[in-house]
C-alpha cells in the first residue's frame, strides 16, 4: 500500500495530544495525516467525538487508516457501530493504542459517558497495542477489548499509557505496528482481488 494513496486520521484521547506526544510527531511525519479535532478535549461528550470522527472520514473520499490513542480508541469503536456503510468502507484499518477502559473502577468522571464500551467486531482490520502497566486499562482488559473488536493484540512491557508521561515522545517502535497493520490490509486486499 503506497502511503501517498492513504490518509491517516490521528485520534487523540482525553485532553488531546500535546506537541511532544508521539501522535503529534506522527502527524508531522506521515504524509496525508490529519488530526481529528474535538470541540472540547477536557470534557468529552461521546456523541460529539463520534460526530467529529464521522465528519473527518466523510470530508475526503480517499481511503484512511485511523491512528487512535486512549479515549480515541473507544471513539473508534462507538463510531464503527453507527457509521454509514459508505464511510466504513473508506476506513482501511485502525491502530488502537492504549485504549482507555472507561468502565473501570475509578475512571475519571469526564470519560464515563463513553461507557458502556462498544464491543462489536470492527468492520476493518485493526491492531491493538496495550501495556502491562497501563493505569487506564489492564493488560487483561486490553486483550479482552481486542478479542471483542477482532483486533490483533500486542501487550508491551512497562510502557505505561504509551504517552508523554511514560516517555513515548516519538515512539518510533510504534511505526512497526502501523507497518504490520498495513501489511495485513494489503494481504486482505490481495485475497479479495
Per residue in 42-72, pLDDT (tens digit) is 999 999 999 999 999 999 999 999 999 999 9
Q: How far apart are CA 21 and CA 162, in angstroms?
A: 9
Over residues 11-34, mean pLDDT: 96
Show the domains of the chain with their CATH numbers.
Answer: 3-192 (3.40.50.1820)
Q: Is residue 3 pLDDT above 80, yes or no?
A: no
Prior bond of 116 cis (ω within 30°): yes
Q: Which three cell numbers stand for residue 159?
A: 510502557
Which cell goes with 97? 493504542
Grid cell, residue 127, equals 491492531
Q: Which residue has the higher pLDDT, 24 or 1?
A: 24
Whether residue 142 has pLDDT greater than 80? yes
The predicted-structure confidence for 112-124, as pLDDT tens digits, reads as follows 999 999 999 999 9
How would residue 169 be classed by pLDDT, with cut points 50, 70 and 90? confident
Distances (CA, A) of 159 to 36, 39, 74, 131, 167: 25, 29, 20, 5, 8
Amino acid at each position: 500500500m503506497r502511503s501517498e494513496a492513504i490518509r491517516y486520521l490521528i485520534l487523540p484521547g482525553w485532553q488531546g495530544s500535546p506537541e511532544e506526544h508521539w501522535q503529534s510527531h506522527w502527524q508531522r511525519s506521515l504524509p496525508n495525516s490529519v488530526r481529528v479535532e474535538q470541540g472540547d478535549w477536557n470534557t468529552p461528550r461521546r456523541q460529539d467525538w463520534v460526530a467529529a470522527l464521522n465528519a473527518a472520514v466523510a470530508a475526503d473520499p480517499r481511503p484512511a487508516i485511523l491512528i487512535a490513542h486512549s479515549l480515541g480508541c473507544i471513539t473508534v469503536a462507538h463510531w464503527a457501530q453507527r457509521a454509514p456503510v459508505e464511510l466504513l468502507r473508506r476506513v482501511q484499518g485502525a491502530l488502537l493504542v492504549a485504549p482507555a477502559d472507561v468502565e473501570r473502577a475509578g475512571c475519571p468522571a469526564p470519560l464515563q459517558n463513553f461507557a458502556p464500551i462498544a464491543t462489536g467486531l470492527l468492520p476493518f482490520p485493526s491492531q491493538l497495542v496495550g501495556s502491562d502497566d497501563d493505569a487506564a486499562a489492564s493488560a487483561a482488559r486490553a486483550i479482552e477489548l481486542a478479542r471483542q473488536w477482532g483486533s490483533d493484540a500486542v501487550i508491551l512491557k512497562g510502557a505505561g499509557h504509551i504517552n508523554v508521561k511514560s516517555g513515548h515522545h516519538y515512539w518510533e517502535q510504534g511505526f512497526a505496528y502501523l507497518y504490520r497493520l498495513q501489511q495485513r490490509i494489503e494481504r486482505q486486499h490481495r485475497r479479495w482481488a
